């Protein structure tokens, strides 16, 4: 059977993918697509510190749109960082070359009690403002994504205080003081719901929760601590927009992850998409999952990896992406090839590719 559909725009394509529908082509974007592999990003960063870019809407908008302009990706993610709410909750935040540092990490009940539930428009108003301006600039036919860190992953940074040298400090907090640690997760949940709602109100088409470090937990601890916090956030958003839940190295957690309430599960390259679909069923859409290191390979290999991911789900509830953020020294041409491969790929059920405006 041939599907002769009228052209649809990128936003509709993206929303259809989130709903698990059969697609005329697979939408594609890249985690960390605004970043140091782009010369125009480096140019801005040469003049402005990372946090200054995050907090100055004009600059945040510019770098958010750079990958859309350069690569023609199918979604624009607002430029920010998962640690912005940690700062708004009262922690100090330094984002230097060695990764984020929190000089006053959370280690006790007093530290948890001190964390503020902030007002997202008043205290982090630069973020919804950047979203409003991005939406205005790219127009109503391009999806704009908001995001936040998932509570466990954010807690890792808030407790460890620096990019992890293992997770001994945060895990010993969890094991020694489970009640206080749950209190910390709960605080993060209470701060994150209004923070995401403000992004949705500003015009975000969908939001993504980043749970980069959930794979560090065993199934029981994931189910006891990390999962309920994610479920609470997703339930708190009340289905206003689709939620994408990114988890890394989570193959031992997948059936639990699927109970998060997210519409889309974003996964890494450690498990095949077809296998995950078989385990979780067609209700949950999938995003991913090419290894970012593949973008250092010759063009044929990049094309092959992108097509392998696409063909494993046959354009059914799939958003093509990498399995983690794009790496700093990735050649821009290779990122471009990755995007173009998805946009030109002929799906078995569609006669003509790319009927997307
Ligand atoms: O996807 C996008 O383009 C939007 C922007 C975005 C950034 N960070 C910008 C950034 C997003 C969605 C994030 C999420 C984020 N931040 C995560 C979750 C996803 C992941 O990658 O695991 C995490 C764990 C962080 C925390 C963080 N911020 C780390 C560990 C680092 C240092 C590592 C690095 O790549 O430098 C950052 C800094 C950061 N956040 C940069 C960018 C572009 C690099 C800063 C620079 O320009 O010097």
For tokens 């990706």, the residue is 73
Q: How far is CA 59 from the centre of its chain?
A: 20
| pLDDT for position 1 | 47
Mutate to test the pocket of ligand 1, among 325, 326, 329 (most ligand atoms within 8 A of CB): 325
Per the structure block, which two tokens stand in for 177? 């003081």
Ligand 1 pocket: which of 70, 82, 287, 330 to mutate (most atoms within 8 A of CB): 82
211 DSSP β-pair partners? 247
* Sheet strands (E) in 11-92: 76-77
Distance 34 CA to ligand 1 centre (A): 9
> pLDDT (tens digit, 0 to 9) for every residue of the chain, 357 residues total?
455 556 899 999 999 999 999 999 999 999 999 999 999 999 999 999 999 999 999 999 999 999 999 999 999 999 999 999 999 999 999 988 888 999 999 999 999 999 999 999 999 999 999 999 999 999 999 999 999 999 999 999 999 998 766 799 999 999 999 999 999 999 999 999 999 999 999 999 999 999 999 999 999 999 999 999 999 999 999 999 999 999 999 999 999 999 999 999 999 999 999 999 999 999 999 999 999 999 999 999 999 999 999 999 999 999 999 999 999 999 999 999 999 999 999 786 765 555 677
Nearest to 244 by CA among 306, 289, 311, 279: 289
Distance of CA 240 from the midpoint of ligand 1 (Å): 26
Please check whether residue 357 is in contact with residue 8, taking contact to mean a CB–CB distance below 8 angstroms: yes
Start-to-end Cα distance in the chain: 23
pTM, 2 dp: 0.95
Q: Determine whether the shortest distance from the Cβ of 82 to ligand 1 is under 6 A.
A: yes
Q: Does residue 36 have an active-site annotation?
A: yes
Q: Active site includes 19?
A: no
* Non-local CB neighbours of 148 within 8 Å, separated by 6+ positions: 82, 85, 154, 192, 195, 196, 207, 209, 210, 233
CA–CA dist 18, 337 (Å, integer): 24
Atom of ligand 1 nearest to the CA of 153: 24
- Ligand 1 centroid to Cα of residue 81, in Å, is 6
Residue of 10, 25, 32, 277 with catalytic role? 32
- The answer to whether the beta carbons of residues 101 and 161 sit under 8 Å apart is yes
- Residue owning the nearest CA to atom 23 of ligand 1: 82
- Which residue has 């708004």 as its token pair? 88
157 is catalytic: yes
Which atom of ligand 1 sits closest to the CA of residue 208?
12
Distance CA 221, CA 228 (A): 11
Pair 288, 321: CB distance under 8 Å: yes
User: What is the pLDDT, as a whole number, of residue 7?
Assistant: 85
DSSP 356: B
Q: What is the pLDDT of residue 6?
A: 67
Beta bridge mates, 289: 321
For 229, residues 6+ apart whose C-beta sits below 8 A from its C-beta are 150, 151, 152, 185, 186, 188, 189
Are the C-beta atoms of residues 264 and 287 closer than 8 Å to each other?
A: yes
pLDDT for position 112: 98
Q: Is the CB of 306 under 6 A from ligand 1?
A: no
Q: How far is CA 326 from CA 13, 221, 338, in A?
A: 23, 29, 11
DSSP string, 291-355: -GGGGGS-HHHHHHHHHHHHHHHTTBSEEEEESSPPPTT--HHHHHHHHHHHHHPPPTTBSSS--
In a 13 Å sphere around the CA of 284, the CA atoms on its Cβ side amount to 27
Judge whether 81 counts as a catalytic residue. Answer: yes
| Contact of 112 with 184, CB cutoff 8 Å | yes
């Amino acid at each position: 059977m041939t599907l002769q559909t009228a052209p649809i725009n990128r936003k509709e394509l993206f929303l259809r993918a989130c709903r698990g529908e059969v697609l005329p082509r697979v939408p594609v974007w890249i985690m960390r697509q605004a970043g140091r592999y782009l010369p125009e990003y480096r140019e801005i960063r040469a003049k402005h510190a990372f946090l200054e870019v995050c907090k100055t809407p004009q600059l945040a908008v510019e770098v958010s749109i750079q990958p859309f302009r350069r690569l023609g990706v199918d979604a624009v993610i607002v430029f920010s960082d998962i640690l912005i709410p940690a700062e708004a909750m009262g922690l100090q935040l330094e984002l230097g070359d060695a990764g984020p540092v929190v000089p006053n990490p959370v280690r006790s009940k007093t530290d948890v009690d001190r964390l503020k539930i902030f007002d997202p428009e008043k205290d982090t108003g630069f973020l919804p403002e950047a979203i409003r301006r991005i939406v205005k600039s790219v127009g109503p036919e391009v999806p704009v994504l908001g995001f936040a860190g998932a509570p466990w992953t954010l807690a890792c940074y808030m407790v460890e205080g620096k990019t992890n040298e293992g997770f001994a400090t945060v895990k010993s907090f969890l094991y020694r003081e489970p009640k206080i640690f749950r209190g910390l997760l709960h605080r993060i949940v209470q701060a994150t719901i209004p923070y995401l709602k403000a992004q949705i109100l500003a015009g975000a088409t969908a939001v993504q929760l980043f749970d980069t470090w959930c794979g560090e937990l065993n199934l029981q601890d994931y189910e006891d601590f990390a999962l309920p916090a994610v479920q609470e956030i997703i339930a708190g958003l009340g289905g206003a927009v689709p939620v994408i839940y990114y988890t890394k190295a989570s193959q031992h957690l997948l059936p639990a992850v699927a109970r998060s309430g997210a519409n889309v599960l974003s996964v890494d390259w450690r498990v095949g998409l077809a296998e995950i679909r078989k385990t979780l069923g067609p209700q949950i859409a999938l995003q991913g999952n090419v290894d970012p290191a593949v973008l250092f390979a010759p063009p044929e290999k990049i094309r092959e990896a992108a097509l392998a991911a696409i063909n494993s789900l046959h354009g059914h509830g799939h958003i093509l992406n990498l399995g983690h953020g794009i790496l700093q020294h990735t050649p821009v041409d290779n990122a471009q090839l990755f995007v173009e491969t998805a946009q030109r790929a002929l799906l078995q059920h569609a006669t003509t590719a790319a009927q997307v405006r």
